[in-house]
Amino acid sequence: MLRAAWEDVNAGREQIKFHFRLLTNRRSLEANDPEGLVTVMCRLFTDRNHDGSMKNIMCCLVDISDIKDLECQLRARTDEVEMKMAHLLEVKKQQEKFIDVRIRSVVDGMEITDSPR
């Protein structure tokens, strides 16, 4: 990943952004994530001379572990809500079927009593 970013810088790209994970003593909130991993966003900016040659490379590193943990929690909650919605839709369908059966049985019973003898 770093090698690809460096090649992009040398190829002339002015901005590069990528994420990577570092092993630290921080414990992640994510249940399926091993302890001690921190997600870092790296942004590289190149400063060039008038002739196009590279003058400087500026780098900014930001710990985005909390954001990644919140994304994971949001994804889990969204999945939970989707499962509950699917269950509620199934319950609604079953209620509608039950009501249809009851209405048909009432209508059929009325037809039997209304028919001439």
DSSP letter assigned to residue 51: T
CA 57 – CA 47 distance, rounded (Å)? 6
Give residue-wise pLDDT tens across range 47-103.
888 998 888 989 999 999 889 889 999 999 999 999 999 999 999 999 999 999 888
Q: What are phi and psi of 115, to 5 degrees?
A: -70, 145
CA distances, 90 to each of 29, 85, 93, 95, 116 (Å)? 33, 9, 5, 9, 41
Query: Does the pLDDT of residue 16 top 70, yes or no?
Result: yes
Look up residue 12 and give its two tokens: 């002339």
pLDDT classification of 35: cutoffs 50, 70, 90: low
State if pTM tops 0.85: no
CA distance 108 to 117: 16
Higher local confidence (pLDDT), 112 or 18: 18
